[in-house]
Amino acid sequence: MSKEKQKKFAKPKSFSNYSDSKSDPLQKTSLLSKIFGNQKKLDDARKTFFTAYKFESNIKPLRIITLLLLFSVILGIGMFYIERNNEREYKNWKYQGISSIPPSNISNFDEVIEFSKIEKLSECDSWDPNKILEGKCDKSISYVKQMNETQSRSQILYIIQFLVMFILFFPLGTFFHRSLRNIKTLRYQTSTSPEKSIVWIYFSVFLYFLAIFTSKFISKDFNISFSIVSLAFIFLTYRLYKSFSEIYQGSLLEKSSSLLSTFTIKFKIWFISYLSILIFNPSMITRFWAYETKDIDDLINATKFMNYSSIVIIIFCFISIVLVAEIYKLQEIKNIKFGSITVDPLE
């Protein structure tokens, strides 16, 4: 009986490979520590962090970035055509005599009635079931359905675009972290830490979007809220400038005479598109350039801004592909011509 009880309450065989305390005391793990790691894995990570490294090719991150950015270009083209069709639809409403914006949700029928009263559409002025059954509100309801369809189509693509951009952070982080590490192996003297540079860039991107989403809660005044976003925008630009200046100075075959000549024409074109997308991205448009849409003219103008935003996204994604490819080529060429050295982080 005692042997049976021991077997009954013994450690499950399925977990036996998770730990072996006899062979390695540091490997004592539970199921949670298996997921989040244990002391031995932490020590291995620390050793790897301080291990000497050589020049590493960025070809794999470059391929992933290129595929994701090309997908973003396709999404941008789709957004452009959807917003252009939406603009035509809204202009058609204006030609029909509609001056106010239809509600996008039919569940709040009071708004539908209010819209009908303003536009003088039939006799849809109450919740009377007989009027609804007789089709008195059909015209108003058709505008509501069209409004819902136009808004839904664009919102779906914007959500997908945002998710793609979020996924892009990971391969981009790998690419630029490796690029900053590589310049040291290419005999460029710098005290810049690749890890800190990437963390600062991610933090500044987070601050930028946080400023956009919270600025209107802090103050409804345009100048104050825009100043908050501008500070985050300047900080992000400064962090990007520091990282790119190090990458280009360490990747060029010859030292440039001035800092401006360090940056190539491709980077300067990319920088202009970067400024454009920070000013004309969908989040900025909905919270600043088209924050208050009171009538159909405001809605048409807001849709035009979204159209411009789609064009800016397409250009920015395409030039970004060119930029990362240029950085990759510069470092590969310098490595082939001059060779690389092994860098010890502890020295």
High-pLDDT (> 90) share of the chain, %: 36
pTM (predicted TM-score): 0.78
Rounded mean pLDDT, 277-290: 87
Regarding whether 248 and 142 lie in a shared domain, the answer is: no
Domain containing 188: what range? Answer: 56-97+173-337
Regarding whether 217 and 128 lie in a shared domain, the answer is: no
Regarding whether 246 and 126 lie in a shared domain, the answer is: no
Regarding whether 148 and 287 lie in a shared domain, the answer is: no
pLDDT tens-digit profile of 294-343?
A: 888 888 998 999 999 999 999 999 999 999 999 999 999 998 888 777 77
Which residues 6+ apart lie within 8 Å of 295 measured at CB?
Answer: 99, 100, 101
Residue 220's Cβ-count burial label (10 Å; 0-12, 13-18, 19+) is: exposed
Regarding whether 289 and 143 lie in a shared domain, the answer is: no
Asked if the structure places residue 205 within a domain, the reply is yes
Asked if the structure places residue 6 within a domain, the reply is no
pLDDT at 267: 93
Asked if the structure places residue 344 within a domain, the reply is no
Average pLDDT, the chain: 81
Regarding whether 314 and 254 lie in a shared domain, the answer is: yes
Asked if the structure places residue 166 within a domain, the reply is no
Rounded mean pLDDT, 194-206: 91
Regarding whether 89 and 122 lie in a shared domain, the answer is: no
Regarding whether 314 and 191 lie in a shared domain, the answer is: yes
Beta bridge partners of 53: 343
Regarding whether 224 and 83 lie in a shared domain, the answer is: yes
Q: How many domains does the chain have?
A: 2
pLDDT tens-digit profile of 104-154?
A: 777 777 777 787 788 777 666 666 666 665 566 778 788 888 888 888 888
pLDDT tens-digit profile of 3-42?
A: 445 544 444 444 444 444 444 444 445 544 544 445 565 5
pLDDT at 14: 47
Beta bridge partners of 295: 100
Regarding whether 229 and 106 lie in a shared domain, the answer is: no
CA 54 → CA 43, 138, 165, 179, 334, distances in Å?
A: 22, 71, 30, 12, 14
Asked if the structure places residue 180 within a domain, the reply is yes
Residue 203 reports pLDDT greater than 90? yes
